Amino acid sequence: MSRPPREFMPLSDGAVRAVSGPNSRHAALIEDAFHVLLETPGGGVSLSGDAKGRGAAKRAVQSIAAQADSGVEVGEADVRAAVVAARSGEPAAGGASLPLGRRGAISAKTLAQARYLDLLANHELVFGAGPAGTGKTFLAVAHGAGLLLRGEVDRLIVTRPAVEAGERLGFLPGDMNEKVDPYMAPVWEALSDILGPDQLRRRRDKGEIEVAPIAFMRGRTLNHAFVIVDEAQNASRLQMKMVLTRLGEGARMAVTGDPTQVDLVNPTDSGLSHAIGILEGVKGVAVARFEASDVVRHPLVERIVKAYDAETARAGPRTPR
């Protein structure tokens, strides 16, 4: 029986390690996706299989190798993104990246993320809307941290509605930071991952980084700051208008959220979809939309999101509670 056609791709040692992955997990993902055999005989990667499978696998390998050679740490999410791009025949994320992060440059893992980073760099107000796990908040935080480190803004401010706390915030134990921090934990985790705990602590103590509930933004003018409004689907229309009009001289803003995950008593009062509807197309405003296929967490998350989306489509519009 004849062996299937084989193609050898010379790669750097770092690229070969990235393509193979820990315990050959990356190679297994590529093999399963394109029905090829991937081997690393030394000095590169060998692909065996039919022409169509080899061609798609080659595109995925080239994308992964380019990331590795540019100094970006390649994880399973990057490999899955490369596989999706190679299967669709579209270009990969294009190496869009931010040169910071404790583990090296932070790179776009999907085409939607690459476009999002481009919009953040070129617009004063950017809405990022889509399912959890698509990197909307993390990339906005990384972009804002980069602006702060380069001295392009004086402050990084992250705010989100404390829907669970409501008006009960004052009854929680501790000082104001201790009351608020549980609702801001995801943001602090992202900042710590990007900047490292020591630098985060120093900049927080100096007032260069602030994380606070959206109600704390009322009456303020935010000059020379990068502002992130997280979980914006849980901001009311009045809250959204209030926070959007806080922008002052030299300020920029990213507003992120999932319009399908509204926790307000009256979901129709959500300010995120309303704001996108009336502001899309306004000069200086851009909208980045993410889909279930852009989820970069555990691969099961994408399947969970798609299942819920399908159920919502069958059930029809959600009625106010």
The pLDDT tens digits of the residues spanning 239-276 come to 999 999 999 999 999 999 999 889 888 999 999 999 99
Indicate whether 178 and 285 sit together in one domain. Answer: yes
Would you say residue 133 has pLDDT above 80?
yes
SS (H, E, C) 32-68: HHHCCEEECCCCEEEEECCHHHHHHHHHHHHHHHHHH
**291: exposed, middle or buried (Cβ count in 10 Å: 0-12, 13-18, 19+):** middle
Indicate whether 225 and 82 sit together in one domain. Answer: no
DSSP letters of 243-303? Answer: HHTTB-TT-EEEEEE-TT---SSSGGGBHHHHHHHHHTTSTTEEEEE--GGG--S-HHHHH
**pLDDT tier at 122, thresholds 50, 70, 90:** very high
Indicate whether 106 and 208 sit together in one domain. Answer: yes
The pLDDT tens digits of the residues spanning 30-51 come to 999 899 999 998 889 999 999 9
Element (H, E) at 140: helix 136-149
Give me 245's structure tokens: 């009009």
Reported pTM: 0.69
Q: Which phi-psi region, left, alpha or beta, contains residue 101 (left: φ > 0; alpha: ψ -120 to 50)?
A: left
Q: What is the mean pLDDT of residues 16-41?
A: 93
CATH code, 84: 3.30.1370.10
What is the domain count for the chain? Answer: 2
* Count of all residues that appear for the chain in the document: 321
Give the residue from 88, 116, 151 where a domain finishes. Answer: 88
Q: What is the mean pLDDT of residues 288-313?
A: 79
CATH code, 144: 3.40.50.300
Backbone φ and ψ of 159, nearest 5°: -135, 150
Indicate whether 111 and 141 sit together in one domain. Answer: yes
Q: Which of 126, 112, 38, 22 is nearest to 294 (CA)?
A: 112
Per-residue confidence (pLDDT) for residue 132, from 0 to 100: 85
Indicate whether 209 and 135 sit together in one domain. Answer: yes
Indicate whether 299 and 212 sit together in one domain. Answer: yes
Indicate whether 233 and 178 sit together in one domain. Answer: yes
Would you say residue 179 has pLDDT above 90?
no
Q: Which residue has the higher pLDDT, 204 or 1?
A: 204
Q: Measuring CA to CA, how many Å separate 39 from each of 21, 46, 48, 74, 302? A: 12, 5, 8, 18, 29
Distance CA 151, CA 123 (A): 18
Indicate whether 52 and 104 sit together in one domain. Answer: no
Domain of 189, in residue numbers: 98-315
Per-residue confidence (pLDDT) for residue 314, from 0 to 100: 78
- State CA 32 to chain mean position distance: 26
**pLDDT tier at 187, thresholds 50, 70, 90:** confident
Q: Measuring CA to CA, how many Å separate 297 from each of 31, 134, 226, 304? A: 21, 8, 26, 11
* Domain-located, residue 321: no
* Domain-located, residue 288: yes
* Domain-located, residue 207: yes
Indicate whether 115 and 75 sit together in one domain. Answer: no
* Domain-located, residue 93: no
Per-residue confidence (pLDDT) for residue 284, from 0 to 100: 94
Indicate whether 190 and 71 sit together in one domain. Answer: no
Per-residue confidence (pLDDT) for residue 73, from 0 to 100: 81
